[in-house]
Amino acid sequence: MAREALQTGSTIDGFLIGEKLHTGGMATLWSVTHPDIAVPIVMKVPMIMDGDDATVIVGFEMEMMLLPRLTGVHVPKYFAVGDYARQPYVVMEQIDGDSLLPLLDKSPLPISEVHALASRVATALVDLHKQNVIHFDIKPSNIMLRKSGEAVFIDFGLSRHLQLPDLLEEEFHVPMGTGPYIAPEQVLQNRTDFRSDIYSLGVILYHLTTGERPFGFPQNVRGLRRRLWRDPVPPRKHNPETPPWLQEIILRCLETDPGKRYPTAAQLLFDLQHPGEVKLTERAERLERDGFFTVTKRRFGWAGTQGSPRQPEVVAATSAPIVMAAVDLTDGMEQLAETLRIHVQRVLATVPGVRLACVNVLRQNRVGINYSLDEEGRNIHVQRLVELKDWARPLNLDREHVTFHVLEHTDAAASLIEYARSNHVDHILIGARGAGGLRRYLGSVSSQVVAEAPCTVTVVRVGQSETELVD
Amino acid sequence: MRIAFLSDIHGNREALDAVLRHAGRHADRLVFLGDLVGYGADPVYVVDKIADEVGKGALSLLGNHDAAAATGSVEGMNEYASAAIEWTHHELDPASRAFLIEMPMSIEDEDRLYVHSEASSPRSWQYITDAGSAERSLRSTAKRLTFCGHVHKPQLYHMTPMKPPVRFLPQPGIGAPLVGNRKWLAVQGAVGQPRDQNPAAAYSVLDTTRNELTYFRVPYDIETTAAKIHAAGLPKILAARLFIGR
């Protein structure tokens, strides 16, 4: 394929080529301008040599397929792709910020900084996974931070959109990914699991917390396979400042078996947003790696596993949802609270892996004394938590699957909606106090939640006879 | 331009009408990939309708059931298929038979090849069921995109020059970009007799500007179609299988 060489000053499809910003192993990056585009943009051009390296070509095809379909602040805004036969390229927004790469040299970072970065990247991952895309190459150099703070993923050359053809499937002779970050199932050439990205994020968090790579920098497949049985040195051993909740989160992300990791990025983010609510297991306090016997057993268990079937069952990003129960604990609403619990129970029984957030709003007066600041206020808050836990007790949930939150707010509906948004709740169950005319006229909490929540909402009512409905 | 591909209508009037209504909103041009008749109770209506569309610029390819129904030869067909073909042959008038038999085996259109069955040997009516048969078909043409039918199961294959093709099971309603320097083989599901366990009529639309192919499923009134098959005295199994898409 003969192609005209790009150079500063030349024009292609209306894009004026500016300076060359970067030459990587796979592509060059040019600053470009276009009369119709006001924001700074870059053109990514694959390095296609005469030998036509298949991985470069396929990776670029993947980006051409995915970028136009991705939306939101956590991916570069897409503008154009070039005709493959003439001059392949992708034009996208230039991100005004740096990648996470320089942070590796500064690690270990203060825990508060690791925490903030983790939350940002997990937020971006939730958004990417909701668009049905697994990145498969999450690493510091592929994550940019906007000046406004949001994390942005770049380079989708190894990615997979679960509703589109996987162009990389045919290239499968070696594991694809980046040595230090690749998940064990990727080593086994399985490209169907969202939790592979959670693993890679765990590697980054480990590195930022400890200054060390959990699995070194393996140079061959044999080296990569070690992580199938060898667990990493617990972060606390490297950095004693690591709080138990953070070690718990990191080691859960780094579980060899995807089934033991967070089921979704949203559940990981939930723990990052509520570190005090993280269920601590034996992982949290661990100071040594697993012993010889455990490791040998694990190694033996993996023996013979060269690769998993081509198309194992795909785990949907929407599985293991976060369900929020907005519980009204006001006197006289006991029947409604019980009806709500019955409906929550039905959801828990039919959907596996649910994480339940039980939420109650403690109303603050707009004017007057703010009770939460004094002793009595604290007591009220604690009392509400106790009542919330008592409400959930018949559900018999493990601590890992349920959390309790009392929100203090002047506007109940707004606080519930905000909670659902920031915690990526998938489904809200909320009770409606009645269906009376006055309530309809004034507007109820539940109707505002239905109208404005970013997810599915189920409104639960206590069954009433017709006469009771009349105000 | 948006081109709709309809294959394996098999004399199913209700399914054809439902798909044409749907395609009316999603496509500018129609390509029929063969097997207009056979199995279903409305061969006359279907042939008239498609002949009418061809008069307005649509393309229509020859399928094995069309050839058999036109000539009355049922060689190589199973018991139910041959019963339906004999019945269909008598239903059709000479003009309809002539229209069927004169349809082309394959058509090349810009970077696209249209054909009823596997393209390396169209007259032997081979099925595309796996990467091997898909590769035979893809290697026999220089065209970037091939559209065919015949197996009644939607499948999308893509292949680079040095590797065997990979199969993708398209998701209804989600456009797949046919990117890059690779070949694509778009096997259509059936309009009139789906066999991928989804009873809704199947067809697809290629948007040539966006270089994107979208498979669609269109529900239709199966009860009416089945009642007509019973009334015509055709084998009852031809009606029963429509409800389960097998």
Query: Chain A contacts of B174, Cβ < 8 Å?
Result: 163-164
With tokens 């390396």, the residue in question is B120
* Number of domains making up chain B: 1
| Number of H-type helices and E-type strands within chain A | 17, 16
Position with higher pLDDT, A55 vs B233: B233
For residue A312, tell me if it sits in a domain.
no
CATH of the domain at A433: 3.40.50.620
Q: Are B225 and B232 in contact (CB under 8 A)?
A: no
Mark out chain A residues that contact chain B at CB-CB < 8 A: 1, 54, 57-58, 60-61, 64-65, 68, 84-85, 163-167, 169-171
- Backbone φ, ψ for residue A369 (5° rounding): -75, 135
The predicted structure's pLDDT at residue B244: 95
Q: Which of A54, A84, A167 sits opposite B158 (nearest CB)?
A: A167
Tokens matching residue A394: 């018949």
Based on the domain organization, do A293 and A334 belong to the same domain? no
Q: Is the ipTM of this complex over 0.90?
A: no
Based on the domain organization, do A239 and A333 belong to the same domain? no
CATH of the domain at A275: 1.10.510.10
Tokens matching residue A364: 């603050």
Residue B57, domain extent = 2-244
Q: Which of A302, A337, A362 is the last residue of a domain?
A: A302
Based on the domain organization, do A88 and A144 belong to the same domain? no
Instruction: Select from B106, B105, B203, B194 the least CA-distant residue to B151.
Output: B194
Pairwise CB contact (< 8 Å): B166 & A170: yes
Pairwise CB contact (< 8 Å): B166 & A166: yes
Return the DSSP state at B122.
G
Rounded to 10 degrees, the C-alpha dihedral A392/A397/A403/A407 comes to -10
Q: Which of A61, A77, A93 is the last residue of a domain?
A: A93
Residue B138 forms contact with A (CB below 8 Å): no
Based on the domain organization, do A271 and A337 belong to the same domain? no
The predicted structure's pLDDT at residue B60: 98
Residue pLDDT tens, chain A, 471 long: 445 568 899 999 999 999 999 887 778 899 999 999 999 999 999 876 555 566 777 888 888 889 999 999 999 999 998 877 778 899 999 999 999 999 999 999 999 999 999 999 999 999 999 999 999 999 999 999 999 999 999 999 999 999 898 888 766 567 788 889 999 998 888 888 999 999 999 999 999 999 999 998 888 888 888 888 888 999 999 999 999 999 999 999 999 999 999 999 999 999 999 999 999 999 999 988 888 888 888 777 765 555 444 444 555 656 789 999 999 988 888 899 999 999 999 999 988 889 999 999 988 765 555 555 556 666 788 888 889 999 999 999 988 889 999 998 888 999 999 999 999 999 999 998 876 555 555 568 999 999 999 999 999 998 765 554 444
**Closest-CA distance of chain B to residue A159, Å:** 15
The whole-angstrom separation of Cα B178 and Cα B111 is 12
Q: Are A409 and A420 in contact (CB under 8 A)?
A: no
Based on the domain organization, do A345 and A213 belong to the same domain? no
Based on the domain organization, do A267 and A413 belong to the same domain? no
Pairwise CB contact (< 8 Å): A170 & B176: no
Smallest CA–CA distance from A68 into chain B, residue: B177
Based on the domain organization, do A243 and A162 belong to the same domain? yes
- For A373-400, the DSSP string reads GSHHHHHHHHHHHHHHHHHHGGG---GG
CA distances from B162 to A167, A258, A266, B31 (A): 14, 34, 40, 31
Based on the domain organization, do A169 and A262 belong to the same domain? yes
Based on the domain organization, do A294 and A155 belong to the same domain? yes
Tokens matching residue A348: 């828990």
Q: Are A59 and B179 in contact (CB under 8 A)?
A: no
Q: Are A265 and A129 in contact (CB under 8 A)?
A: yes
Q: Are A168 and A190 in contact (CB under 8 A)?
A: no
Based on the domain organization, do A85 and A115 belong to the same domain? no
B30-79: per-residue pLDDT in tens? 999 999 999 999 999 999 999 999 999 999 999 999 999 999 988 888 89
First to last CA, chain B: 33
Q: Which of A1, A54, A65 sits opposite B160 (nearest CB)?
A: A54
CATH of the domain at B161: 3.60.21.10
For residue A310, tell me if it sits in a domain.
no
Tokens matching residue B53: 């569309």
With tokens 């003439």, the residue in question is A86
CA distances from A438 to A78, A332, A443, A446, B234 (A): 50, 18, 8, 14, 64
Partner residues linked to B158 by β-bridges: B166, B184
CATH of the domain at A62: 3.30.200.20
Pairwise CB contact (< 8 Å): B180 & A170: no
Q: Are A279 and A247 in contact (CB under 8 A)?
A: no
The B residues from 174 to 233 touching A (CB cutoff 8 Å) are 174, 176-177, 179-182
Q: Where are the alpha helices (DSSP H) in A258-363?
A: 265-273, 282-285, 292-302, 334-350
The predicted structure's pLDDT at residue A302: 60
Q: Which of A302, A337, A363 is the last residue of a domain?
A: A302
**Closest-CA distance of chain A to residue B160, Å:** 9
Pairwise CB contact (< 8 Å): A85 & B181: yes
The whole-angstrom separation of Cα A47 and Cα A53 is 9
Query: Chain A contacts of B182, Cβ < 8 Å?
Result: 61, 167
| Cis geometry, peptide bond prior to residue B122 (ω within 30 degrees of 0) | no
Pairwise CB contact (< 8 Å): B174 & A64: no
The whole-angstrom separation of Cα B218 and Cα B235 is 25
Smallest CA–CA distance from B173 into chain A, residue: A163
For residue A144, tell me if it sits in a domain.
yes
The whole-angstrom separation of Cα A179 and Cα B128 is 39
The whole-angstrom separation of Cα A146 and Cα A160 is 24
The predicted structure's pLDDT at residue A366: 56
Pairwise CB contact (< 8 Å): B166 & A163: no
* Number of domains making up chain A: 3
Query: Chain A contacts of B168, Cβ < 8 Å?
Result: 164-166
With tokens 């040998």, the residue in question is A296
Based on the domain organization, do A87 and A103 belong to the same domain? no
Based on the domain organization, do A67 and A151 belong to the same domain? no
Dihedral sign, Cα of residue A269, residue A271, residue A272, residue A274: positive
B129-180: per-residue pLDDT in tens? 999 999 999 999 999 999 999 999 999 999 988 788 999 999 999 999 998 7
The predicted structure's pLDDT at residue A308: 45
Q: Are A90 and A64 in contact (CB under 8 A)?
A: yes
Tokens matching residue B203: 């067809």
- For A74-115, the DSSP string reads TSPPEEEE--TTT---EEEEPPSEEESHHHHHHPSPPHHHHH
Residue A430, domain extent = 322-469
Q: Are A138 and A197 in contact (CB under 8 A)?
A: yes
